A and B are shown apart, each in its own frame.
Chain A
């Protein structure tokens, strides 16, 4: 098979803002106000080419319509910072974002945020303290929006013309077809509300510094590709707002200047994040018997998936049969646990086992500089995330002799 592919991408970006700063000396305060406008445009185009067999014969003609898709984002934003005596810092922002992916009724999202910081180390009782040289408390609340749905026209009712290889014959004439496209006229921004509380600290004039943060993110109107109700749309799955999700966690960072000389410095940093996430709503109705939305298609047969989004569990949890192991911890091939104890191993025995997302992330970085030489390294570690070896599972179960045949089959069932 011989085929050709080409893609052109055009991205445009414009950012325009006005900034105003005023020192209010009488009350030892400072005001910093910004108002701005942003314009972003993303366009992708792919012309179509015919596919050819190895012998040069045409296998499939080119689709008459090239692929072209475009979306635009417009933002108006404002930000105000107000600080009093360098001790009390207030920040408020407001964005209004418009996305061409949503209808005129739903395309504008309003995203406010507010934050307060208290520089405790500027207070008289800590000022000049060389042991605890920096201490800052931060509180924040904010709403952010998400519009990345992959489909640029998900709200528009329209028809698309079929290719010449997808016609229908009436009498002796073939007709190209017009298909109405599935759409959700009410699709809108996904919103995430975040609350965070953090403390920054520094000891010994900043030679040791770090922070602790707690965050709680509540995502509503999660944009997801889900099943539509039978009979209500020109497709069976659509991008729409469904489901809620919760993420909470704690982050801890610690940085140190181990050596701080004029010629030689050595810094090291460490951070650890613990995150817990859970799907809290997936469907319009609460149904405790609903096992979830299957996801994570795998090879080795058609229609097989390995993961699932379920309420009360981590997103994309693996959904598998429970392996039976020998006393020596070796898996017994083809033997699984009958989890519901009904005497048969079937789809009711699947369970949610781990997720590809880590629960704990560790990071370590260090840098040494001597005169003009720099040495640095970054180490990262994830814990609690699992992977599924589909290369092994896809080929490993075939019996000798039938492997080639089955692979041919799956290639030709497409």
Chain B
């Protein structure tokens, strides 16, 4: 009896030991993952995460072109930062209409979007994915953490530059959030990942934060034109400050035109910045090699190594409509979506020969009777996957063309407008020179030049449309000029009527997506929604 008891006890003990070891199997780790500890051990590790922060602007996921998407709840191609940012900035204006049947996509142009809009939510989610990503890198690249990890010397210096670049990228995304949504959730590197309720920051306070961030990194970023192509330098921060100050009246109620001029001057003082000779080359597959002197900050695409259904792949494919030949654009198919309104076409009624005027009219109607009809509205030929020498991009489906967030031409236009609006630190003569530089490039000679009396605000808003159309600044420009929601300027299907009508002033801001509003009790919806 006793020996039996010992046997049973022994069996139970053996079983318990065996069972205890089995509970260790509950510590399953992903087989092909890295932790912060295994990744941030050297410069290469840091650079691979930095690459993802930049790629947050261009790609949609880890597979390219799709699969393993960064954000979900929407088709991955639509989740592209540039594609959604572009849609919010362009489809809502005179510059673009889209004919597709995808959910509420026509609400952009009709100006009838609601807080439940899936595209607005995708844009918002994308911006906050980017901010959270940047926060993570900023946290991990803090100087003390880098030195604790035993990284020093030139590698540590390089990581410090990347730290400043991540702050620039975060400021850029916060700028977009402030411009599009106004009062938004606010998170920094001090907020770790997890379940907490971010506070809402007012538009004016966010303006101050962005300004202070850019001024702080103005000294820690690499000097203008000394960084690798595709990475931000001091001039990128200056360009964003220039745009921020130009619109300060809208964002805070206080104009800052003189500050705008100050930062334009910092850029134009750098030797090496110059307009390239051919306007159309700025938007071609080899713009990384042809347009470096004009690009202040551009993000990179590659048909084989950086694939997405958004970004410039969207900007090349979607505007191929009607009888346009995809091959002329260096790609295999057109997506038959984007055209422009009559009001944009009419802006080119001045002297003929403006190379920025590149409409596709064959088989297209000037009038848009039906947005869904790909033949209503002229096509625009701008972003293409052809090279400046007539060759094709590296891949017929995905596009090589890089997207310029800031280029010198915008700085010229910002400068001229800030001068006309009464900013100090610049001169009308320089403003006129800058504008005529743009026009000489466009016309190939002085035939399109203007005189000082022509340099007015109505002239400048139209000049901006000619120079910068489809570069994702139009909505911001129209708001600054009081023409976005007002009845002062109407375009086809503005306010969902053929001839256009004014809409509520609250539409100068997009609504906070209802999904986030409900999840986070700290958030208040923008007025009017």
Residues of B within 8 A of A76 (CB): 19
Give Cα distance in the complex from A171 to B515, angstroms: 39
B39 interfacial contact with A, CB 8 Å: yes
Q: Which of A39, A228, A283, A405 contacts B22 (CB 8 A)?
A: A39
B35 interfacial contact with A, CB 8 Å: yes
> Mask for A232-262, Cβ within 8 A of B = 1, else 0?
1111110000000000000000000000000
Give Cα distance in the complex from A83 to B194, angstroms: 50
Q: What count of chain A residues pass the 8 Å CB interface test?
A: 87
Establish whether residues A159 and B515, one from each chain, have CB atoms under 8 Å apart when the complex forms: no
Establish whether residues B65 and A175, one from each chain, have CB atoms under 8 Å apart when the complex forms: no
Establish whether residues B300 and A72, one from each chain, have CB atoms under 8 Å apart when the complex forms: no
Give Cα distance in the complex from A27 to B101, angstroms: 77
Give Cα distance in the complex from A245 to B39, angstroms: 41
Give Cα distance in the complex from A348 to B144, angstroms: 53
B124 interfacial contact with A, CB 8 Å: yes
Give Cα distance in the complex from A7 to B249, angstroms: 59
Establish whether residues A165 and B196, one from each chain, have CB atoms under 8 Å apart when the complex forms: no
Establish whether residues A414 and B102, one from each chain, have CB atoms under 8 Å apart when the complex forms: no
Residues of B within 8 A of A232 (CB): 132, 187, 191, 193-196, 198
> Residue of B at shortest CB range from A182?
B193
Q: Which of B59, B104, B114 contacts A166 (CB 8 A)?
A: B59
A-side interface mostly: loop
Establish whether residues B78 and A158, one from each chain, have CB atoms under 8 Å apart when the complex forms: no
Indicate whether A237 sits within 8 Å of B132 (C-beta atoms), given known contacts A107-B26, A163-B64, A177-B52.
no
Interface of chain B residues 92 through 131 with chain A (CB within 8 A):
100-105, 112, 114, 116, 118-119, 122, 124-125, 128-129, 131
Residues of B within 8 A of A167 (CB): 51, 55, 64, 302, 305-306
Establish whether residues B77 and A168, one from each chain, have CB atoms under 8 Å apart when the complex forms: no
Residues of A within 8 A of B54 (CB): 168, 170
Stretch at the interface among A63-71, A190-198, A207-215: A63-71
Give Cα distance in the complex from A98 to B58, angstroms: 41
Q: Which of B62, B197, B302, B304 contacts A160 (CB 8 A)?
A: B62
Give Cα distance in the complex from A178 to B49, angstroms: 5
Indicate whether A236 sits within 8 Å of B128 (C-beta atoms), given known contacts A100-B27, A153-B28, A285-B521.
yes
> Mask for A178-192, Cβ within 8 A of B = 1, else 0?
111101111000000
Indicate whether A170 sits within 8 Å of B51 (C-beta atoms), given known contacts A230-B185, A413-B335.
yes
Establish whether residues B132 and A231, one from each chain, have CB atoms under 8 Å apart when the complex forms: yes
Residues of A within 8 A of B73 (CB): 227, 236-237
Give Cα distance in the complex from A227 to B129, angstroms: 12
Give Cα distance in the complex from A39 to B22, angstroms: 8
Inter-chain pairs besides A60-B65, A304-B103, 9 sampled, C-beta below 8 Å: A162-B59, A168-B300, A179-B52, A180-B136, A228-B519, A283-B518, A294-B118, A410-B102, A412-B317
Residues of A within 8 A of B (CB): 16, 37, 39, 41, 60, 63, 65-66, 68-72, 74, 76, 98-100, 104, 107, 152-153, 156-172, 174-181, 183-186, 226-237, 283-285, 287, 290-291, 293-294, 300-304, 346-348, 405-406, 408-410, 412-414
Could you name 10 residue pairs across A and B whose Cβ atoms are closer than 8 Å? A37-B15, A74-B23, A104-B27, A178-B39, A230-B520, A291-B514, A303-B102, A347-B116, A408-B333, A413-B77
